């Protein structure tokens, strides 16, 4: 499996980065290892490793890596249905990426935040985040992301029985 290979290579990278004291690479290896465990549904292990990496990134002031850990922690909590914690870490990532003008990441995290609000049936808030994501994705001319967010908006309108708006969003996504 690809996850198994990623995990094995990342563990080797972690070992080498610790041996040679390359802390930025150590952070990146921890991020990949934590994500692999999350994908394997080993959520507790993923959480521990991601927090270890986050702590190292904070201590070493790797400002570009910190939001990546927050995003991965959000993913881990989302996959384990802990939506309150997922929101907390997604919002931390969104704030950092917005501050550093990482628009691709901001668009993606807004979609992820929208997905959490969808899961907890806060559809109006989900819609707001989807629309933020759509605006940024449109500005970036990221057609794949636009189609994905339009589909999410279609699903949201369908779920809330606004079938005309749902159809409109689905058709917009299909045109892309």
User: How many Å apart are CA 134 and CA 150, to the nearest integer?
Assistant: 7
- pLDDT greater than 70 at residue 82: yes
Q: Give per-residue pLDDT as tens, 15-60.
A: 999 999 999 999 999 999 999 999 999 999 999 999 999 999 999 9
Helix or strand holding residue 122 (H, E) = none
- pLDDT greater than 80 at residue 174: yes
User: How many Å apart are CA 79 and CA 134, to the nearest integer?
Assistant: 23
User: How many Å apart are CA 72 and CA 74, to the nearest integer?
Assistant: 5
Q: Radius of gyration over alpha carbons of the chain, in Å?
A: 18
Verdict on whether the full-model pTM lies above 0.85: yes
């Amino acid at each position: 499996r690809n996850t198994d290979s990623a995990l094995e290579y990342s563990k080797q990278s972690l070992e080498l980065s610790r041996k040679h004291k390359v802390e930025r690479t150590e952070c990146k290896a921890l991020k990949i290892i934590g994500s692999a465990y999350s994908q394997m549904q080993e959520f507790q292990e993923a959480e521990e490793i991601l927090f270890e990496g986050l702590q190292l990134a904070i201590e070493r002031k790797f400002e570009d890596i910190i939001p990546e850990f927050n995003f991965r922690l959000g993913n881990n909590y989302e996959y384990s249905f802990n939506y309150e914690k997922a929101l907390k870490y997604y919002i931390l990532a969104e704030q950092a990426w917005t501050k550093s003008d990482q628009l691709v990441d901001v668009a993606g995290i807004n979609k992820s935040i929208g997905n959490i609000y969808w899961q907890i049936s806060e559809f109006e808030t989900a819609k707001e985040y989807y629309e933020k994501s759509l605006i940024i994705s449109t500005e970036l001319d990221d057609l794949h992301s636009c189609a994905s967010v339009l589909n999410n908006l279609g699903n949201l309108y369908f779920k809330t029985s606004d079938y005309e708006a749902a159809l409109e969003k689905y058709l917009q996504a299909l045109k892309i």
